[in-house]
Amino acid sequence: MASTRFLTGCAWAVHLYTALGAVAGLLALNYIAHGNWRGAFTMMAIAVAIDSSDGPLARAIRVRERIPFFDGALLDNIVDYFNYVAVPVFLMLRARLIPDGAAGEVVAGFVMIASGYGFSRLDAKTEDNYFRGFPSYWNLVALYLFCLAFSPAVNAVVVALLALMVFVPIKYIYPNRTELMRPLTLALAAIWAIATIAMLPMLPRHNEILLYTSLAFVVYYFVMSFALHAHPTRVAARRSL
């Protein structure tokens, strides 16, 4: 009985841990409102770290079995939409990464709607562990646009195109779940994480070596996702080996 109560308490602690991601997002909004970009991106990184680790914890403790009346997946989606969409879109507006006025607000609104659609699809994650349509990595989009310093007009085009890609049913790698190439993906993701985290204390300046090391994984992610989507028979053949 005591062990059951302890494990139930651990399950609640995992849900609390997930909810702390929303707290990180709230602090990010406060930093954005005060123009503290380093603090904002740091809080966004903490939110990503929570989101990356709460799932394995939940599966290890079997939270669904221990608290069957509480929907942890719904909580996770709420926090993710807030942190991966609302917070970075607000940053893009306040940092003037996209145009001031109505044009930028239209682009921002389109991102919110497109990502709402993406989060609401029952088949947003495929049975073979891919994302269907561009996953809402708007926090990373905001970071790279912030560092690359393109014009707001160019940024608006990039953001709008990525938002359109939410509706295109291309399969994108789910880094810690997609089986094919997972060791390579995780190894490159670890290098990406180190480079990206190392950039944060330097903001609003950036180190070009770290920036382009981080961007290299983004290039790999898109190229590999498109390659796997374009050659399903090749993927099936390799799985059968």
Per-residue pLDDT tens over the stretch 146-161: 999 999 999 999 999 9
DSSP state for residue 99 in the 8-state scheme: -
- Give per-residue burial for 50-75: e unless 16+ CB within 10 Å, then b: bbeebbeebeebebeebbeeeebeeb
Q: What is the pTM assigned to this prediction?
A: 0.89
Please report, rounded to a whole number, the percentage of residues in the chain having pLDDT higher than 70.
95
DSSP state for residue 125 in the 8-state scheme: B
Render pLDDT for 171-187 as a digit per residue (tens, 0 to 9). Answer: 899 887 788 888 899 99
DSSP-based three-state secondary structure for 132: strand
Q: Where are the alpha helices (DSSP H) in 34-100?
A: 37-61, 63-66, 72-81, 87-94
Give 131's strand partners. 125, 172
CA 97, CA 23: separation in Å to the nearest integer?
Answer: 24
